Amino acid sequence: MAGLGHGLSFRHGLGAVNGAAPEHHRAEVASAFFVIAYLGISLPVVGVGLLAEVVGLRAAGLVFAAVVAALAAGVIAFLRKGRGVTAAPPAETRSGAPDARMRDQVDPILAAASVELTDADLAHIEGVQGRRAA
């Protein structure tokens, strides 16, 4: 079951990243996605293994479950406050002027790939999001 969830999340996540990235930055953005995804998959396993050596497998499993539950609760709280990524940019961004919120959402991903967006790149991303919302 977990493998199915990972596979679907990975497939749709990469599709969303590739769809939103400007064509000339697509390789760098996809590379950053893979690095972040693989770190997110591997670091918890290594951490649980190291913790199991110290406190035992059962305790390590319980700590891991508690951390995952706390992260899930944090994500739910974050999304309920309405601060998550919206499906369509606000009307004022459709005029072609880059929105500061768009830059705030995209910059952390691109920083991991050492990519800097221009205003034209942001306009492209906003256009893709606008077409998806329509």
Kindly report the pTM of this predicted structure: 0.50
pLDDT by residue for the chain (134 residues), tens digit each?
777 877 888 888 888 888 888 888 888 988 999 999 899 889 999 999 999 999 999 999 999 999 999 999 998 988 888 654 554 455 444 444 555 555 566 656 555 555 565 666 666 666 665 665 55
In our burial notation (b when 16+ CB lie closer than 10 A, e otherwise), range 112-126 reads bbebebeeebbbbbb
* Contact partners, residue 30, CB within 8 Å, separation at least 6: 14, 17, 18, 21
Closest CA relative to residue 116, chosen from 20, 22, 8: 22
Count of domains observed in the chain:
1
- Residue 83 CB: number of other CB atoms within 10 A? 10
Query: Structural domain of residue 119, as residue ranges?
Result: 2-133
